[in-house]
Structure 1
Amino acid sequence: MYIGGLVGIGVTAPDIDDCSASGSITATFDNGTYLVAIGGFVGLTTGTCDDCVATGSVVATVTTTNEVDA
């Protein structure tokens, strides 16, 4: 099931594809938890990188696009 246009704040464990100095992020989020939708999502997500730590975890405000409900 494809879900688009979801907006929320989540603590995720993504595979970070890009987290630029400007704070934008393009990442593949696995099992993201969002305020508007609690569940597992796998897909390409773009958003604002609030915290990008050495472990690869990120706390971000995200706008999901073309998500797959896992």
Structure 2
Amino acid sequence: MLKLKVDGMTCGHCAQTVTRAVEAVPAVERALVDLKAGEVSVEGDAEETAVRRAIEDAGYDVRGAA
């Protein structure tokens, strides 16, 4: 499982946006956002760079692995 720290998520809408963006990446089975911790956990075999790009394209900053 891939875990990334994400900056800029402040509400439920942010969490939904990140979840949808990550789940659109090929080979992602599921994305779980922990809004309070500012993290997203990704299940599946997706490439980390593709997941990072999807989050950044959605308007959020990835700080690194959680």
Would you call these one fold, judging by a TM-score over 0.5? Answer: no
Q: Which structure is higher in helix share?
A: 2
Q: Which structure is higher in strand share?
A: 1
Which structure has the larger Rg? 1
**More relative contact order, 1 or 2 (CA 8 Å, 6+ apart):** 2
